Amino acid sequence: MNEVYRLRIFYKKEGIARFISHKDFCKIIERTLRRLDTPFKFTEGFHPHPKISFGPSLPVNFSGENEALDIFLTEKVDVEDFIKSANLILPEGIEFLKGIWVEKKSPSLNSLDLKAVYKIEKGERFNREEIEKIGKIINETPEFIEILVKIKNFSHKKLIEACGKKEVRRRIIWNEREI
C-alpha cells in the first residue's frame, strides 16, 4: 500500500476573488494543483478525482483571511516551493500563505469545533441588535465591528441580513491564542 501524506494549506481569499462561489473556488484550486503536477492521492471508484478537503465554505462577497484546505498526496513535496509555485498560478485575490504536514488520521477540517472572527463594515443598513444576537462582540470602532462566532451549524444568512451588502471579512481561529 502506498503512503499517503496530508498537507494543510492556509490561504486568503479577498478582493475580486470574494465574488467566486465555493464550487468555482474548488475547481480553481484543483486546476491550479494539476498544473503543478501535484502527486495527488486519488479517490477510489468509478470516477476517481484528487482527494482535497476544504474547510468551511465562505459565502460570496465575504473575504477570508485564514482559511484552510487539505491536500492528500502520494509523496512529500517541498512546502515552500509548492506554495510559491501555486501563488504564481492562482488568480488575483487568492493566495496560499503557508503549509504544514498533518497526521493522516487527524480530524477533518469540517469536523473541528472552530470559531471565527467576522469583521463587518458598518453602513446605513447595519443592524447592531441583530449582530449582537449572532455572536459575541469583541471589538468595535466607528467604521467596523468584530464578532466571535462558532462556525459549526452557523448560518451566514442572518449575518448578511444584519450587515446589509457591506464587506465582511472572516478570520478562522485555529487555536485560542489567535483571538
Same domain, yes or no: 140 and 170: yes
pTM > 0.85? yes
- pLDDT at res. 90: 97
Q: Range of 65's domain? A: 5-111
- pLDDT at res. 157: 87
Same domain, yes or no: 105 and 145: no
In angstroms, rounded to a whole number, what is the distance separating the alpha carbons of residues 125 and 111? 34
Identify the DSSP state of 44.
P
Same domain, yes or no: 47 and 93: yes
Q: What is the pLDDT of residues 138-170, one digit of tens each?
A: 999 988 999 999 988 888 888 888 887 677 899
Q: What is the pLDDT of residues 19-49, one digit of tens each?
A: 999 999 999 999 999 999 999 999 888 999 9
Domain CATH for 43: 3.30.70.580
Same domain, yes or no: 119 and 145: yes
Q: Which residues contact 132 (CB under 8 A, 6 or more apart)?
A: none
Q: Using CA of residue 175, residue 169, residue 135, residue 54, what is the dihedral sign?
A: negative
55, with CB counted inside 10 A (0-12, 13-18, 19+), is: buried
Closest CA to 44 of 75, 76, 4, 89: 4
What is the number of domains present in the chain? 2
- Which of these three, 71, 95, 111, is where a domain ends? 111
Q: What is the pLDDT of residues 88-119, one digit of tens each?
A: 999 999 999 999 999 988 898 888 889 999 99
Query: In sequence order, what are the beta bridge partners of 13?
Result: 64, 94
- Which of these three, 59, 83, 111, is where a domain ends? 111
Same domain, yes or no: 97 and 173: no
Out of 4-8, 62-66, 113-117, 173-177, pick the least confident: 173-177
- Which of these three, 111, 128, 151, is where a domain ends? 111
Q: What is the pLDDT of residues 53-92, one digit of tens each?
A: 999 999 999 999 999 999 999 999 999 999 999 999 999 9
